Structure 1
């Protein structure tokens, strides 16, 4: 019996948590679904990653309104993936921030990614007909800039490639809290279909240099103390190095992609097989790792058609 494609069989509603990490700092999480971060400043609110549709974003807004009535002025896109950005219109922000590289990826593959992710994980696209179109940043930056939300300073930085070529983090120095996007995951598989495996661990090193007291990962529970942050960084690193180590070894031996996939599953499943979305991610992860090991630096574009073909070829 073949596996249901990606997460099409995942229809169960997830329990939402809204965790406070510091004064005016919150994590909207839902048992391995995409997370959203919230920063409350003196004069307004920033949202980091928006959910996939305006309808889904309204769930975040409901929780924000329980803790503040300040206007939601800013949206930060940690990267370009549809489940992270297409709900932005619900917040009616004054500004939408993204790295230069993220905007370039939206230009290159934003529509294809939208179609791809909707096909992979339809539950996350509640009321998809409410999405007005691609989300475009109103302001971009090469590597970093500082935003003052009244007296509260927020450092917004592209530390290096990892989950995508344009990953952006938000750092709140007064509380020692970081919002990492999908550069860090917690008891959730890293999605690596657009990854840069050789760069990602170096970017994790840069995150660790901040010594965060707390961190909001892309998926999984909020990390509320330095011990949990350290665990999240280690699990993410171990996931990546185990995956790429196995696949690059297979490629060096001249094994096929299917053979590399089977060997990688054997290497990873004992430790990571119970992580959220592990089976969903694995074919796309191995395909990208194989490409990088074979010298392809720029990830190929995933389309809804390519998704299905890859899934059938590797899970068949």
Structure 2
């Protein structure tokens, strides 16, 4: 197994593939096993070689408990573009809102072509080059699937209990927040919660959809579960202390960002000011701090009374141009 794909047992019959440090595309996945019965996979990764390695390791761990269920926690490709590595008979579940967003997403081949273009034009001055270089950064070294992967075939609206042999996995839709369809998977008998991208640990979170109040509510719900361990979408296992730190980050973003918005400061300069403030210092060690620019573009749109934008390539390209421009200015200082 390559680094970042090996399964780590984190509870009774529960494993996680923790792809640290948890940067762009480095998504965590999970496995719930009822020995001698059946198993469930939680999320798949978008990098084809890694997805296959995880599938091979999963097959080894489930030799006497075949995978019959899978869950995709939300619509970002790095959490479901590996669905074709699942056994063909597996039922895949996600929230109704997430499935709708998955159908709106640009296909992997289109994103790959866009990122490849970005690698060639990243040197170009101005927003075009900034967008291209940042998109290439987002892809990293990932090898995307050549065709659109298998979509989930089962959805729910608010809550769903899936029985995995003799074990229950409780699904709950807590979005819209990071994306329109964020859900969590709670394994009560093991004290483990798979949170998808409602938790970024050690890296800066992104608000693609909002509203931010929903994300704060989701964090409060996670805290109320008082689990033994939480598996974030990105980063290492965590407990309640890390969730509270993320909550403090979002409260700071909301309060400081709104002050800038009300003062008429545009979103990217506002992000720059916020990252230069003393209040930011406690979050400055988190990776990809420039993601604040992406979040602020979402928040400004919401504060202007406009609806959240769908996850199209055009929407993300504009955001990546802003983030890439900011990063160029920051790195040139």
Scaled to the shorter chain, the TM-score interval is: 0.7 to 0.9
Q: Deviations over 1:33-74 (max 9, x none)?
A: 211111112422211110013322122223324533132222
- Please report the RMSD computed on the Cα atoms of aligned residues, expressed in angstroms: 2.5
Which residue pairs with 1:101 in the alignment?
97
Counterpart Cα distance in 2 of 1:108 and 1:278: 27
Is 1:285 paired with 2:295? Answer: yes
8 Å CA contact 2:107–2:147 kept in 1: the answer is no
Q: Is the 8 A contact 1:163 1:195 kept in 2?
A: yes
Q: TM-score, with normalisation over the residues of structure 2?
A: 0.80
Structure whose CA Rg is larger: 2
Query: Quick one: structure 1 residues 62 and 34, their matched pair in 2 at CA, closer, same or farther if it must change by over 3 Å?
Result: same
Is 1:122 matched with 2:151? no
Contact 2:249 2:283 in 1 (8 A): yes
> What TM-score comes out, normalization by structure 1 length?
0.84
- What is the total number of aligned residue pairs between the two structures? 296
Query: Match of 2:127?
Result: none
Listed as ranges, the matches of 1:1-316 within 5 Å are 15-16=4-5, 18-31=7-20, 32=22, 33-42=26-35, 43-69=37-63, 70-93=65-88, 94-111=90-107, 115=111, 119=135, 120-123=137-140, 125-126=142-143, 128=144, 130-223=145-238, 229-267=239-277, 269-279=280-290, 281-299=291-309, 301-303=311-313, 305-315=317-327, 316=329
* Deviation of the 1:19 alpha carbon: 2.6
> Residue 198 of structure 1: SS of its match in structure 2?
helix
The DSSP-based 3-state class of the residue aligned with 2:92 is strand
SS in 2 for 1:195: coil
Gaps of 5+ in 2: 116-134
Structure 1 unpaired stretches of 5+: 1-12, 224-228
In the alignment, the residues of structure 1 paired with residue 201 and residue 325 of structure 2 have an alpha-carbon distance, to the nearest angstrom, of 29
Residue 302 of structure 1: how far off its partner (Å):
4.8
Give the 3-state SS of the residue equivalent to 1:121 in structure 2. Answer: helix
